[in-house]
Chains A and B, each alone.
Chain A
Amino acid sequence: MSVLKRMPYRRTTATLLAMALLYVYAISASAQSDNGPDNNGLDDENNTPMFSFSGFGTLGVVHSSEDQADFTSSVFKPNGAGYTCSWSADVDSLLGGQLTATFTPQLSAVVQIIVEQNYDNAYRPQVEWANIKYQFTPDFFVRAGRVVLPNFMASDYRKVGFITPWVRPPIEVYNLVPITKNDGIDTNYRLRFGEVTNTIQAVYGQLTSTDKNGSNVKGRDQWGLFNTTEYGPWTVRLGYYQNRTTLEEFKPFFDAFRFFGPAGVALADTYDCDNKRITLASVGASYDPGDWFLTSELARREADCFAGDNTAWYISGGYRFGKITPYLTYAQVKATSNTSDPGLDVSALPPELAGIATGLNAGLNSILAASPEQQSISIGARWDFMNNAALKLQFDHVRLGDNSPGVLTNIQPNFQPGGSFNVFSATINFVF
């Protein structure tokens, strides 16, 4: 019940700011038209438009050869290609709009709205960002509101497919922490040493999301520190992030263990994600002299609960033949904590309880075994057929770890873990 009560409040905080900005925008737009053609919304002092609107989008279809589970781009999506649809448009398709308001050279605000497949299969607009930024100096700003959670090199623009070479950032790495935003503050401090630019970014806040079963995923006390060094074609990034996570979906299940005495309580305390610490350490490097690029990221997530520890990395390279950029990517994710547990000692229990305990043990082991383990090779090409639009085709061959469903979702009873499957994706990415 408390879940239902809280949700509307959570929506309003970010939405209110968005609505306020859109309102000011509407007023200014109508005032502007009254002033005639001379005033085209430009603030002469600042030399930039007071309001600017930009948009981006992806139209995509995906086919997966695994028909007993769904392949999709985020753990927050309820289904995708494979079991639910042979060809799915839900995996990558989205539409985003961003309104930037520049009040003074120092003070600005941004609202970014994205429409994509939500946890409940609906396409409802969601506030991705809604923040106010104060630029203290050209090299130092602070933002407050809903800001990006910049865990990976492409986090800032992971949903703007037009910017990235791939159909989607390698999900082995990017799904380690699937949340993309943070309700709180962030700050950027840029330092230059000759030709070297170093940017330190710090974030703090919280976020409540809804998983595909409609339950809350709460991230509290989340903070992160990220350092990016750029020198000519080189970019090197180091990051650390942590939060305290509660996965409400699993709480009733682990509470059942607590009826089985101290051993059950111990298991519940170990595995339930109830305000448990999750950390992510990441390192990334990219070399892009213009004609070609090579990018690699390595990240390790540790969770003090059933989500466990995973290490993932990828390496990707491409060559730009004019408007066509073929690329090749290898990605891998491994589970480095236990993916099984003996669970409750059934032998000591009376038969009627033993049955329940056996069921709980099986449930626990299926949750632990779901820790992603897979490797994939992707080959694809991007074609910039217009200055603001690109077509991408990508073929992935994915091999699952033994007993692991990898990053697949919506697993069906006849699914055979540990196999391999192929994915074909085609997207059109555009900005306007």
Chain B
Amino acid sequence: MAKHWRTFFAASLMFVCAGCTHTQGPAPAVAALKPTGFGSVLIESSGSKQIGPTGMVLAQPLVVQVNDEQGAAVTGALVEFSGPAEVSFDPASGLTDSSGQLSTNVALGGMAARYQLTARTLAKTQKPIDLKIEEIALGYQEQLGFQLDNKYCARCHSSESSAERVSNYDNLAVKPHPFAEGDTLNKMTDAELTSIISHGGPALNKSALMPPYGYTLSKSEIDALIAYIRLISDPPYRASGMVYAKP
């Protein structure tokens, strides 16, 4: 009889406790890499300042290079990549190859934002050497804006020229503003941008070389374009108006 009571009591205790437990997954084990070389400078070789959709692998790998004091490439230096919680690197760390380089595929997080990533290598003195890298992730809306930019705007607004799409920037009597030109575009309100895109340059007393797109693009397309322009702007755009306390 006594046994029964105790079992029942214990069972009910466990039942109460089960409601409060939070299960935690095991931490992934990382195989330790032994560096065979140490550098003093970490430089970015390619793959920074890319623009890609949220959560997806960037089109180009991120390549960094470790050099020594003389500027010669260091083989076998350990480089570790890190970033905000949702950013993933494949591989997250590794040893530099014979040209002193390590390449990683970066998948950005789920939030449309600028992502500050860090590459770190250790000097011989175990002092960490950091390299800051920035990539931009586009959400659905910004991605749509990016595609619209590619189709309608970039021919004039970007001076980048390729065989597939020759830039018209240099041919224009009045130079358009590149979309990343934050110094100019950040001062314009969303309403002003909507107005100049919809009604053309003359709407803001600017050049008629900017044609109106209000009868070609939908309202949501123009919003998408503005969301994209705001995100890629350099220096970054801060919406005026409400000021938030830090959470």
A binds B: no
